[in-house]
């Protein structure tokens, strides 16, 4: 059973916020070329939520959706919202190497599972093929593992590290990693480092024959932590060459409050508020230097909403 049969991806509030934040970041790519001329590669599932958003808000028409659930091809094709979406019914390990990569591409590999060898192989493919000015984004489930009953509490840390080695391979595990680092959000931090290390090693191979001034670089832009049930990580950034430093600066990525270029994550927090509370808070935003408040609503929830209100999803029941 595919995850789309268990989860309605349109109704995950933190995911909705993340999707809109990504779109706003993608708009900043204009110094490298018109965003509408970029190709988008992703996993549409049956909802195609990211495809709809990026087509409507960014004007992207060159779009590729990779679907591994080949047994339900008819259902995916029926739900395809726009004719400009090219459907690839195969695993991403097969589909990504078959794509051509001359065009600048935004690739969002939005997995519902954990980081593993297959995910890292996809990262290598994109980082090893995408043209300068392209973006690579990866989302994975980073929820801590539950210790089985047959593993003693004292052995939990070593057990978690062994599980990670099984997932990603011994050579991809950071040197000196302790199993205790995989607790809570620590697992997401470790995942981020593993992905970035794979990108770095792949670019080192690509740069081996390039003269100075043309070598490819990677600038991390995203380090999202969020939870719509399970703890999730989204990490990614821009591939560019050394001759494009002025273009990178012109993008103004650092002006966006959720952009993260280091180990410190941006935690997407979604407060539970009523529609009436949301309307009252909206009337006070943007606040500038003024204080935003609402009686009976915890200040932490008010602050959390004020930080993401422009991206906050609006869900309503409608009789069709």
β-strand pairing of 231-241 with 62-67: unpaired
Spatial distance between the Cα atoms of 253 and 21, rounded to a whole number of angstroms: 12
Positive/negative CA dihedral, 272, 278, 281, 282: positive
**Residue-level pLDDT at 288:** 87
Residue 146 pLDDT class (50, 70, 90 cuts): confident
**CA of residue 131 relative to chain centroid, distance:** 19
Residue closest to 101 by CA, chosen among 64, 59, 67, 53: 64
Quote the CA–CA distance of 212 and 168 in Å, as a whole number. Answer: 33
Q: Could you tell me the fold of the domain covering 3-144+184-267?
A: Rossmann fold (3.40.50)
Spatial neighbors of 158 by CB under 8 A, at least 6 apart, are: 179
CA dist., res. 223 & res. 149, Å (int): 33
Q: Which residues of 34-67 are buried (b: 16+ CB within 10 A; e: fewer)?
A: ebeebbbbbbbbbbbbbbbbbbeebebeebbbbb
Tell me phi and psi for residue 250, to 5 degrees. Answer: -70, -20
Q: 178-199 pLDDT, tens per residue?
A: 999 999 999 999 999 999 999 9
* Residue 9 clears pLDDT 70, i.e. is over it: no
Closest by CA position to 229, among listed 18, 12, 17, 20: 12
Show the beta-strand stretches assigned E in 61-203. 62-67, 85-89, 105-110, 134-141
Q: Where in the chain is the domain with CATH 3.40.50.150?
A: 3-144+184-267
Residue 8 confidence class, pLDDT cut points 50, 70, 90: very low
| Residue in the structure block whose two tokens are 């993608």 | 26
Average pLDDT, whole number, for the chain? Answer: 93
Cα–Cα distance, 47 to 32 (Å, whole number): 30
Predicted confidence (pLDDT) per residue in 285-313, tens digit: 999 889 999 988 999 999 999 999 999 98
Average pLDDT over residues 224-253: 96
């Amino acid at each position: 059973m595919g995850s789309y049969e268990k989860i309605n991806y349109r109704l995950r509030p933190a995911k909705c916020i993340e999707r809109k934040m990504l779109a706003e970041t993608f708009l900043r790519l204009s110094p490298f070329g018109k965003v509408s001329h970029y190709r988008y590669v992703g996993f549409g599932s049956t909802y195609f939520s990211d495809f709809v958003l990026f087509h409507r808000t960014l004007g992207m028409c060159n779009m590729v959706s990779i679907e591994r659930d080949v047994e339900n091809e008819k259902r995916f094709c029926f739900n395809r919202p726009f004719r400009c979406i090219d459907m690839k019914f195969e695993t991403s390990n097969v589909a990504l190497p078959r794509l051509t990569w001359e065009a600048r591409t935004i690739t969002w590999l939005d997995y519902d599972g954990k980081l593993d060898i297959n995910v890292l192989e996809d990262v290598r493919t994109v980082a090893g093929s995408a043209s300068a000015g392209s973006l690579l984004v990866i989302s994975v489930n980073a929820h801590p593992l539950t210790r089985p009953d047959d593993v003693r509490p004292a052995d939990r840390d070593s057990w978690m590290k062994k599980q990670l080695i099984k997932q990603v391979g011994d050579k991809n595990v950071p040197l000196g990693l302790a199993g205790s680092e995989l607790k809570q959000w620590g697992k997401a931090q470790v995942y981020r480092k593993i992905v970035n290390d794979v990108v770095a090693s792949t670019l080192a191979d690509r740069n081996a024959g390039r003269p100075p001034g043309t070598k490819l670089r990677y600038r991390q832009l995203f380090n999202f932590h969020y939870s719509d049930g399970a703890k999730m990580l989204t990490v990614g950034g821009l591939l560019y060459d050394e001759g494009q430093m002025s273009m990178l600066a012109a993008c103004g990525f650092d002006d966006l409050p959720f952009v993260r270029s280091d180990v410190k994550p941006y935690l997407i927090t979604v407060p539970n508020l009523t529609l009436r509370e949301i309307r009252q808070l909206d009337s006070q935003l943007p606040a500038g230097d003024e204080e935003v408040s609402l009686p009976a609503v915890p200040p932490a929830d008010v602050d959390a909403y004020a930080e993401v209100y422009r991206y906050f999803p609006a869900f309503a029941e409608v009789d069709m």
